[in-house]
Amino acid sequence: MTRTRTAAPLTTTEGRTFGVVEAAPYPWPHDGSIDPEHTAVMNIDWQRDFCGPGGYLDAMGYDLSLTRAGLRPTAAVLDAVRPLGFHVLHTREGHRPDLSDCPRNKLWRSKRIGAGIGDPGPAGRILIRGEPGWEIVPEVAPLPGEQVVDKPGKGAFYSSDLDLMLRTMGVTHLVLTGITTDVCVHTTMREANDRGYECLLLSDCTGATDVANYEASLNMVTMQGGVFGSVATSASFLAALR
């Protein structure tokens, strides 16, 4: 099942369409052309809590250079797609201040490893909506008019209004950036794919807490003939937009 483009676009701008991206395991998208009106660049969880000092990952002792590595390429992608009329959306993982939307096991695990959700830290309360650590880092900050989806879980579709918004926008194709590759990005890509969105993961616009897990995550997409979508570098994606 793939999504058909039945929803009317919100704008009447007639823009260009583009050819396929050199991607693995298949040239993306499968239907042969990229239409910005129906394509969203989804930027997953570029939050200080995951790639900035004093946040959730930093508190657990992970190497932030791995999750920060994709920031510059992502900023370049955003600079390229915004003038071309692509939809641009962002997600944030975080919980209500009273933790009423935080599963107890999630809370317990985070406390056990010294990064308790809701606990005070250098970037404010960890993974709590409205706190400094929860904000998207300035390098890839949303522009006015770009939607930000708040989510309580790893998948951006679970318990959010993302699917409704994408339908309303007429979006059928997603280009993914964000962190971490193996957790929130992969979960979101899997959810999107099940719902019929045609997905492209930008391999240098993402990173994980462990390099081998990052590589395995990419292989999980490419090695199964593309059951989740396809993978490309941002250079290949940008080349298709020229």
Partner 1 sequence: MTQGRTRSGPGVAGRAGGGRLGLEGLGEGTVPYPWPYDSALNVARLALVVAGANQRWTDRCVDPAPARAAVHQTTAMVRRYGTHVVFLRHASQVVGSRGPDCHRLSSPHRRSRDPHELGVRPMPTDTVVDAAGIDGFFGSSLDTMLQAWGCTHLAIAGFGLEGPVHSTLRSANDRGYECLLLADACGAVSEQTRQGALSTVTMSGGIFGAVGNSAHLAALLEAAQAAALGPDLRGHLLP
Residues with a known catalytic role: 45, 151, 184
* Helix 186-194 × helix 211-222 angle, to 10°: 20
Selection from 42, 51, 92 nearest residue 71 by Cα: 51
Residue 68 beta carbon to partner 1: minimum distance, rounded to whole angstroms: 14
225 scored as a contact of partner 1 (CB under 8 A): yes
Binding-residue pattern over the window 122 to 161 for partner 1, x denoting contact by CB under 8 A = ------------------------------xxxx--xx--
53 scored as a contact of partner 1 (CB under 8 A): no
Which window, 33-41, 69-77, 130-138, 186-194, contacts partner 1 (CB under 8 A)? 186-194
Binding-residue pattern over the window 92 to 121 for partner 1, x denoting contact by CB under 8 A = -----------xxxx-xxx-xxxx------
33 scored as a contact of partner 1 (CB under 8 A): no
Selection from 221, 232, 7 nearest residue 241 by Cα: 232
Interface positions with partner 1 (CB under 8 A): 1-2, 25-26, 30-32, 56-57, 60-63, 66, 103-106, 108-110, 112-115, 152-155, 158-159, 180, 182-183, 186-187, 190-191, 193-195, 198, 208-213, 215-217, 219-220, 223-228
